[in-house]
Amino acid sequence: MRSEQVLTTYRLTFVALIMVASAQTIMQSAEGAHRHHALGLAIAEIAGAAALAWPRTQLYGAGLLLLVFAVAQALSAAMGEWTTHFLQYAASTLLIVLLDVRQRSPSG
């Protein structure tokens, strides 16, 4: 399998998992005390993931996702939860974009 195919597979898998997690958050947000924050972040996350799925819009999607992950990480920390999965999602987002830019460069 070529590196372009690996990146495409990883990109689409990551986008699908983010969308599933966001949909789960939307379904659970009706019950939570922070439902307005969760609902807004989940909707923005779905939009960012959809944009990340396409190389032409990946920079917009990555920017939106990184913002969502930063806000979610800050909200979690404010609630006393020191989870790291938002940081892992941010790292994956950066990996996808940076590898794609590298592959598309003339010297890549």
Segments making up each domain of the chain, as ranges: 3-104
The share of the chain scoring above pLDDT 90, in percent, equals 71
What mean pLDDT comes out for the span 18-47? Answer: 85
CB 58 within 8 A of CB 97: yes
Please tell me the predicted confidence (pLDDT) of residue 79: 86
The pTM (predicted TM-score) of the whole model is 0.90
CA–CA separation, 56 and 20 (whole Å) = 23
Please tell me the predicted confidence (pLDDT) of residue 32: 61
What mean pLDDT comes out for the span 47-66? Answer: 97
CA-to-CA separations, 12 to 22, 27, 55, 62, 105, in angstroms, rounded = 15, 23, 11, 14, 21
CA-to-CA separations, 4 to 19, 49, 61, 92, 96, in angstroms, rounded = 22, 19, 19, 16, 11
